[in-house]
Amino acid sequence: MKKNNQNHKIFNLDVALKKDLDGSKIKTTNVNILLNRVRLDRMRTFRKRIFFSFFLISIVSAISILFLI
């Protein structure tokens, strides 16, 4: 005996529309932006290293001059 209140929809349009909307919300990033960020990070670390080296050399030379006098 078949039940009359069963709904046999194989394809639900609401679910399909939600999947399409979710697919369009996918964020993409530009590769150039990422490469520029890496380049800027390298420049920052290089500047920090140069500053630290200059600071270290100046302190060592100041201490050596102090002991020579």
Sorted by where each begins, the domain ranges of the chain are 29-68
Give the mean pLDDT of 36-56.
Answer: 97
Predicted confidence at residue 42, as pLDDT, reads: 97
How many beta carbons lie within 10 A of that of residue 5, not counting itself? 4
pLDDT of residue 28: 75
Between 2 and 66, where is the model more confident?
Answer: 66
pTM above 0.75, yes or no: no
Q: Which amino acid is residue 32, in one-letter code?
A: N
